[in-house]
Amino acid sequence: SSSRGKVSSLPIFDASVILAATNNFALSNKLGEGGFGTVYKGELNGGERIAVKRLANFSTQGLDELKNEVLLIAELQHINLVCLLGCCIEGEELMLIYEYMENKSLDTIIFDKAKSSQLDWQKRFEIIKGIARGVLYLHQDSRLRIIHRDLKASNILLDKNMNPKISDFGLARIFCADDKKWQTNRVVGTYGYMSPEYAMDGIFSVKSDVFSYGVLVLEIVSGKKSRGIFGTESMLNLLSYAWNLWKDGKALELLDTSIFGNSNNNSEIMRCIHVGLLCVQDRPTDRPHMSEVILMLNSPDAHLP
């Protein structure tokens, strides 16, 4: 699945094509505001559905430089990344054209009581593993070695089969092109998912993504939103408590059975909680690397009593 070494040949679209596809960026085609611009849905002539991200606030860089960055991002290809189909750079416009993701973002489903039943445990577990593979690809297998810096439920999109794909990868890189140090004054990211060292000191590494991934896992398992996990938040307390009970050989009394049904997957569920808790540890060095996360998720009864 790695595209290492592949020379990018990203289709360049004319602005007129994108205008037609999105009905001149009609309000009715607007999907929402993303991290770096507004997203519209569209349809190409052939009927192919697309999502267009119209990037804003990239004034500090020359367009040529941006174009190079976009061509680099285009090399990132993985089943768990939203596919970049093309771009459009014309005048003051920079647009990225992506495959359309039918089932929108994870946060529109998991935090919604009515919709969350669409995701049973098996699907949740697949989503947890899929996101991990996507993040590992960014960290390790892609030529660029990207730190995403804004992993969160609204950046995980679901295709028609509910397969998860990470979006907005590489954009942090574009917007901080002059800024490739390990410490930055321009903290991008979302409160609640940010690791303490990143939120407080702007220090980022693959381990800050691991922290955000851990928050995501705990949200997917619990169906509860994290609001600042390194405070004294109830979700983390609840899940730590559940994990300790489990270690002591007690049943899963605490978790929301409406999510899990009567499935006999308690050890998978607890494995995910354990992995999530390992990932949100305060010290970056205590957190696992994504490759270790994947090993733990895939090994039945690893680290379990």
Contact 204, 184 (CB under 8 A): yes
Residue identified by tokens 């007129």 is: 16
What does the DSSP assignment read for 118-130? GS-HHHHHHHHHH
Q: What is the Cα–Cα distance from 33 to 81, expressed in whole angstroms? A: 19
Residue 110: left if φ>0, alpha if ψ -120 to 50, beta else—which one? alpha
Of the ranges 97-105, 131-139, 216-224, 295-303, which one interacts with ligand ACK (CB under 6 A)? Answer: 97-105
For ligand ACK, give the closer residue by CB, 39 or 275: 39
In the block, tokens 């001149």 appear at 24
> Is 53 labelled as part of a ligand binding site?
yes
User: Which listed range, 33-41, 62-70, 136-144, 196-204, lies at the site for ligand ACK (CB under 6 A)?
Assistant: 33-41
Task: Give the C-alpha separation, 152 to 192, whole Å.
Answer: 9
Restricted to residues 73-92, the positions that interact with ligand ACK (CB under 6 A) are 82
Contact flag: residue 163 with ligand ACK (CB under 6 A) = no
When binding is defined by CB under 6 A, the residue of 13, 58, 98, 193 that contacts ligand ACK is: 98
Question: Among the options 141, 150, 168, 209, which is catalytic?
Answer: 150
Closest CA to 44 of 77, 80, 86, 76: 86
Q: Is 69 within 8 Å of 84 (Cβ atoms)?
A: no
Phi and psi at 87, nearest 5°, equal: -145, 170
Of the listed pieces 100-108, 169-177, 212-220, 231-239, which binds ligand ACK according to CB under 6 A? Answer: 100-108
- Determine the residue type at 16: S
Q: Which is nearer to ligand ACK, 113 or 180 (CB)?
A: 113
- Name, in order, each residue with C-beta under 8 angstroms of 57's C-beta and a sequence gap of 6 or more: 36, 175
Q: Using the minimum distance from each CB to ligand ACK, give the nearer residue, 14 or 112.
A: 112
170 binds ligand ACK (CB under 6 A): no
Angle value at C-alpha 141, between 209 and 70, nearest 5 degrees = 80
Active site residue 150: yes
Binding residues with ligand ACK: total (CB under 6 A): 16
- Does 39 bind ligand ACK (CB under 6 A)? Our answer is yes
Stretch that binds ligand ACK, among 55-63, 93-101, 275-283, 286-294 (CB under 6 A): 93-101
The yes or no reply on residue 104 touching ligand ACK (CB under 6 A) is yes
Binding residues for ATP: 53
Residues found near ligand ACK in the complex (CB under 6 A): 31-34, 39, 51, 82, 98, 100-101, 104-105, 108, 154, 157, 167
Which residues are tagged catalytic? 150
